[in-house]
Amino acid sequence: MMRFYKYEALGNDYVLLDNREGRIPEQQKLGLAKKLCDRRHGIGSDGLLLVEGDGTRMRMFNPDGSEAEMCGNGIRCFVRYLHDHVEERGVEERGEYTIQTAAGSQRVGVDGGSITVAMPEPVDGGEVELEVLGNALIFKRVSVGNPHAVIFKAFENWRELGEIVENDPNFPDRTNVEFVEIADMNSCRISVWERGAGPTPACGTGAVASCFAGVSDGRLERDTWIRAEMPGGALEVSIGKDALIRGPATEVFSGEKTI
Protein backbone atom coordinates (compact mmCIF):
# COMPACT_ATOMS: atom_id res chain seq x y z
CA MET A 1 0.00 0.00 0.00
CA MET A 2 1.15 3.53 -0.76
CA ARG A 3 -0.39 6.87 0.18
CA PHE A 4 -1.54 9.02 -2.73
CA TYR A 5 -2.71 12.62 -2.85
CA LYS A 6 -5.20 14.14 -5.28
CA TYR A 7 -4.64 17.79 -6.25
CA GLU A 8 -6.27 20.21 -8.66
CA ALA A 9 -5.19 23.52 -10.18
CA LEU A 10 -7.86 25.36 -12.20
CA GLY A 11 -9.63 22.08 -12.80
CA ASN A 12 -6.53 20.19 -13.95
CA ASP A 13 -6.30 17.27 -11.52
CA TYR A 14 -3.32 15.14 -10.61
CA VAL A 15 -2.49 12.07 -8.56
CA LEU A 16 0.70 12.63 -6.57
CA LEU A 17 2.93 9.90 -5.15
CA ASP A 18 5.96 10.53 -2.94
CA ASN A 19 8.65 8.30 -4.44
CA ARG A 20 11.67 9.67 -2.56
CA GLU A 21 12.40 6.19 -1.22
CA GLY A 22 12.36 4.72 -4.75
CA ARG A 23 9.54 2.27 -4.13
CA ILE A 24 8.29 2.67 -7.71
CA PRO A 25 10.86 1.31 -10.21
CA GLU A 26 11.38 3.12 -13.48
CA GLN A 27 9.95 0.34 -15.64
CA GLN A 28 6.59 0.53 -13.83
CA LYS A 29 5.98 4.29 -14.11
CA LEU A 30 4.46 4.36 -17.60
CA GLY A 31 1.95 1.62 -16.83
CA LEU A 32 1.23 3.06 -13.39
CA ALA A 33 0.32 6.42 -14.91
CA LYS A 34 -2.15 4.77 -17.27
CA LYS A 35 -3.66 2.78 -14.41
CA LEU A 36 -4.01 5.57 -11.85
CA CYS A 37 -5.18 8.27 -14.30
CA ASP A 38 -8.00 6.08 -15.66
CA ARG A 39 -11.27 7.72 -14.56
CA ARG A 40 -13.25 4.48 -14.58
CA HIS A 41 -10.80 1.90 -13.25
CA GLY A 42 -8.29 4.07 -11.37
CA ILE A 43 -8.27 7.18 -9.20
CA GLY A 44 -8.76 9.41 -12.22
CA SER A 45 -6.65 12.43 -13.17
CA ASP A 46 -5.04 14.47 -15.95
CA GLY A 47 -1.60 13.27 -14.91
CA LEU A 48 0.60 11.48 -12.39
CA LEU A 49 3.11 13.54 -10.37
CA LEU A 50 6.06 11.81 -8.72
CA VAL A 51 8.18 13.36 -5.97
CA GLU A 52 11.70 11.99 -6.45
CA GLY A 53 15.34 12.44 -5.45
CA ASP A 54 15.72 14.69 -2.42
CA GLY A 55 12.11 15.81 -2.80
CA THR A 56 12.73 18.64 -5.27
CA ARG A 57 12.65 16.57 -8.47
CA MET A 58 9.28 16.47 -10.25
CA ARG A 59 8.28 13.84 -12.78
CA MET A 60 4.96 14.21 -14.60
CA PHE A 61 3.31 11.48 -16.68
CA ASN A 62 0.28 11.97 -18.94
CA PRO A 63 -2.73 9.59 -18.89
CA ASP A 64 -1.35 7.81 -21.97
CA GLY A 65 1.89 7.04 -20.09
CA SER A 66 4.05 9.57 -21.92
CA GLU A 67 6.25 11.83 -19.80
CA ALA A 68 5.86 15.62 -19.99
CA GLU A 69 8.95 17.81 -19.79
CA MET A 70 7.15 20.46 -17.77
CA CYS A 71 3.67 21.19 -16.41
CA GLY A 72 2.71 24.63 -15.08
CA ASN A 73 -0.39 23.50 -13.18
CA GLY A 74 1.31 20.30 -12.03
CA ILE A 75 4.31 22.09 -10.55
CA ARG A 76 2.02 24.27 -8.43
CA CYS A 77 0.34 21.12 -7.07
CA PHE A 78 3.77 19.57 -6.51
CA VAL A 79 4.97 22.56 -4.48
CA ARG A 80 1.68 22.74 -2.56
CA TYR A 81 2.42 19.17 -1.42
CA LEU A 82 6.01 20.03 -0.42
CA HIS A 83 4.89 23.15 1.43
CA ASP A 84 2.07 21.46 3.34
CA HIS A 85 3.28 17.90 3.93
CA VAL A 86 7.07 17.81 3.61
CA GLU A 87 8.02 21.21 5.03
CA GLU A 88 4.84 21.18 7.17
CA ARG A 89 4.46 24.93 6.89
CA GLY A 90 1.25 26.71 7.81
CA VAL A 91 -1.21 27.82 5.18
CA GLU A 92 -0.26 31.49 5.63
CA GLU A 93 3.50 30.86 5.72
CA ARG A 94 5.55 31.83 2.71
CA GLY A 95 8.01 29.48 1.04
CA GLU A 96 10.58 29.53 -1.77
CA TYR A 97 11.48 26.37 -3.70
CA THR A 98 13.69 25.34 -6.62
CA ILE A 99 12.18 22.38 -8.46
CA GLN A 100 14.06 20.18 -10.91
CA THR A 101 12.12 19.18 -14.04
CA ALA A 102 13.05 17.70 -17.39
CA ALA A 103 12.87 21.28 -18.71
CA GLY A 104 15.37 22.58 -16.13
CA SER A 105 15.20 24.23 -12.71
CA GLN A 106 12.11 26.28 -11.88
CA ARG A 107 11.81 28.80 -9.04
CA VAL A 108 8.49 28.65 -7.19
CA GLY A 109 7.11 30.88 -4.46
CA VAL A 110 4.19 30.15 -2.14
CA ASP A 111 2.29 33.05 -0.60
CA GLY A 112 -0.87 31.83 1.13
CA GLY A 113 -3.12 30.26 -1.46
CA SER A 114 -1.25 31.82 -4.39
CA ILE A 115 1.70 30.07 -6.03
CA THR A 116 4.01 31.86 -8.49
CA VAL A 117 6.24 29.91 -10.87
CA ALA A 118 9.16 31.22 -12.93
CA MET A 119 8.60 29.13 -16.04
CA PRO A 120 11.16 27.97 -18.62
CA GLU A 121 12.06 30.76 -21.03
CA PRO A 122 9.67 30.58 -24.01
CA VAL A 123 11.31 30.04 -27.39
CA ASP A 124 9.73 31.21 -30.65
CA GLY A 125 9.83 28.35 -33.15
CA GLY A 126 8.35 30.34 -36.02
CA GLU A 127 5.12 29.83 -37.91
CA VAL A 128 3.93 26.70 -39.65
CA GLU A 129 1.04 26.40 -42.09
CA LEU A 130 -0.96 23.19 -41.75
CA GLU A 131 -3.71 21.72 -43.92
CA VAL A 132 -6.34 20.64 -41.40
CA LEU A 133 -9.72 19.31 -42.53
CA GLY A 134 -9.36 21.12 -45.82
CA ASN A 135 -8.36 24.47 -44.27
CA ALA A 136 -4.97 26.18 -44.33
CA LEU A 137 -4.27 27.21 -40.73
CA ILE A 138 -1.20 29.10 -39.49
CA PHE A 139 0.12 28.16 -36.06
CA LYS A 140 2.94 29.75 -34.08
CA ARG A 141 5.31 27.18 -32.61
CA VAL A 142 6.46 27.97 -29.06
CA SER A 143 8.55 25.89 -26.67
CA VAL A 144 8.06 26.32 -22.91
CA GLY A 145 10.27 23.36 -22.16
CA ASN A 146 7.58 21.39 -24.01
CA PRO A 147 6.09 21.98 -27.50
CA HIS A 148 3.06 24.16 -28.25
CA ALA A 149 1.17 25.24 -31.36
CA VAL A 150 -0.77 28.49 -30.91
CA ILE A 151 -3.41 29.94 -33.21
CA PHE A 152 -5.29 33.20 -32.63
CA LYS A 153 -8.71 31.99 -33.66
CA ALA A 154 -11.65 30.21 -32.05
CA PHE A 155 -13.27 27.14 -33.61
CA GLU A 156 -16.38 25.26 -32.58
CA ASN A 157 -14.64 22.01 -33.53
CA TRP A 158 -11.37 22.89 -31.76
CA ARG A 159 -11.22 19.47 -30.07
CA GLU A 160 -11.24 17.72 -33.44
CA LEU A 161 -8.64 20.14 -34.78
CA GLY A 162 -6.48 19.80 -31.66
CA GLU A 163 -6.20 16.04 -31.96
CA ILE A 164 -5.17 16.31 -35.61
CA VAL A 165 -2.58 19.04 -34.98
CA GLU A 166 -1.12 17.21 -31.96
CA ASN A 167 -0.15 14.31 -34.23
CA ASP A 168 0.88 16.31 -37.30
CA PRO A 169 4.25 15.22 -38.78
CA ASN A 170 5.56 18.77 -38.31
CA PHE A 171 5.70 17.96 -34.59
CA PRO A 172 7.87 14.83 -34.22
CA ASP A 173 7.33 14.77 -30.43
CA ARG A 174 3.64 15.68 -30.83
CA THR A 175 2.44 19.03 -29.48
CA ASN A 176 0.05 20.82 -27.17
CA VAL A 177 -2.40 23.03 -29.06
CA GLU A 178 -3.92 26.36 -27.96
CA PHE A 179 -6.81 28.20 -29.60
CA VAL A 180 -6.67 31.82 -28.40
CA GLU A 181 -9.14 34.72 -28.49
CA ILE A 182 -7.77 38.15 -27.56
CA ALA A 183 -10.18 40.18 -25.43
CA ASP A 184 -7.90 43.21 -24.94
CA MET A 185 -4.20 43.95 -24.33
CA ASN A 186 -4.40 42.43 -20.83
CA SER A 187 -6.68 39.43 -21.23
CA CYS A 188 -7.34 36.46 -23.48
CA ARG A 189 -9.39 33.26 -23.62
CA ILE A 190 -7.71 29.94 -24.34
CA SER A 191 -9.02 26.49 -25.26
CA VAL A 192 -6.36 23.83 -24.65
CA TRP A 193 -5.78 20.48 -26.33
CA GLU A 194 -3.08 18.87 -24.18
CA ARG A 195 -0.61 16.42 -25.65
CA GLY A 196 -1.27 12.95 -24.29
CA ALA A 197 -4.42 14.04 -22.42
CA GLY A 198 -6.82 15.75 -24.85
CA PRO A 199 -9.02 18.72 -23.89
CA THR A 200 -8.18 19.96 -20.40
CA PRO A 201 -9.66 22.69 -18.19
CA ALA A 202 -6.36 24.59 -18.02
CA CYS A 203 -2.66 24.40 -18.89
CA GLY A 204 0.09 26.50 -17.33
CA THR A 205 2.65 26.07 -20.09
CA GLY A 206 -0.14 26.55 -22.63
CA ALA A 207 -1.09 29.87 -21.03
CA VAL A 208 2.57 30.99 -21.16
CA ALA A 209 2.93 29.90 -24.80
CA SER A 210 -0.28 31.73 -25.75
CA CYS A 211 0.64 34.94 -23.93
CA PHE A 212 4.22 34.84 -25.23
CA ALA A 213 2.93 34.49 -28.79
CA GLY A 214 0.45 37.32 -28.16
CA VAL A 215 3.14 39.63 -26.74
CA SER A 216 5.49 38.79 -29.65
CA ASP A 217 2.76 39.74 -32.14
CA GLY A 218 1.80 42.94 -30.29
CA ARG A 219 -1.62 41.55 -29.36
CA LEU A 220 -0.92 41.47 -25.59
CA GLU A 221 1.03 43.78 -23.29
CA ARG A 222 4.54 42.98 -22.10
CA ASP A 223 5.72 43.23 -18.46
CA THR A 224 2.27 43.19 -16.89
CA TRP A 225 -0.07 40.55 -15.50
CA ILE A 226 -2.29 39.15 -18.27
CA ARG A 227 -5.51 37.37 -17.34
CA ALA A 228 -5.59 34.06 -19.23
CA GLU A 229 -9.13 32.69 -19.06
CA MET A 230 -9.48 28.93 -19.54
CA PRO A 231 -12.44 26.61 -18.95
CA GLY A 232 -11.15 25.76 -15.46
CA GLY A 233 -10.59 29.38 -14.42
CA ALA A 234 -8.17 32.26 -14.83
CA LEU A 235 -4.38 32.11 -14.56
CA GLU A 236 -2.24 35.25 -14.33
CA VAL A 237 0.69 35.35 -16.75
CA SER A 238 3.50 37.88 -17.08
CA ILE A 239 5.85 37.92 -20.08
CA GLY A 240 8.97 40.02 -19.55
CA LYS A 241 12.50 39.28 -18.41
CA ASP A 242 10.97 36.17 -16.87
CA ALA A 243 7.85 34.23 -17.83
CA LEU A 244 5.73 34.00 -14.69
CA ILE A 245 2.45 32.32 -13.85
CA ARG A 246 0.42 32.90 -10.70
CA GLY A 247 -2.53 30.87 -9.47
CA PRO A 248 -3.89 28.43 -6.88
CA ALA A 249 -3.39 24.71 -6.24
CA THR A 250 -5.57 22.72 -3.86
CA GLU A 251 -5.43 19.32 -2.18
CA VAL A 252 -8.70 17.49 -2.88
CA PHE A 253 -8.28 14.26 -0.93
CA SER A 254 -5.78 11.53 -0.07
CA GLY A 255 -5.90 7.80 0.50
CA GLU A 256 -4.00 4.56 0.15
CA LYS A 257 -3.77 2.27 -2.84
CA THR A 258 -1.88 -0.87 -3.76
CA ILE A 259 0.81 0.11 -6.27
Catalytic residue among 71, 77, 188, 211: 71
Helix, strand, or coil here: 77? helix
Distance (Å, rounded) from C-alpha 168 to C-alpha 161? Answer: 11
Residue type, 15: V
Catalytic residue among 37, 77, 188, 203: 203
Is 203 among the residues known to form the active site? yes
∠45-48-52 over CA atoms, to 5°? 155
- DSSP E strands, 92-230: 94-101, 104-111, 114-118, 123-132, 135-143, 147-151, 176-184, 187-194, 198-200, 225-230
132 φ/ψ sector (left φ>0, alpha ψ -120 to 50, else beta): beta
Q: How many CB atoms within 10 Å of residue 156?
A: 7
Exposure string for 37-60, b = 16+ CB within 10 A, e = fewer:
beeeebbebbbbbbbbeebbbbbb
Q: How many CB atoms within 10 Å of residue 143?
A: 20
Distance (Å, rounded) from C-alpha 90 to C-alpha 34? Answer: 33
Is 77 among the residues known to form the active site? no
> Regarding beta strands 12-18 and 2-9, do their DSSP bridges make them parallel or antiparallel, or are they unpaired?
antiparallel
DSSP structure class, residue 122: P
Residues with a known catalytic role: 71, 203
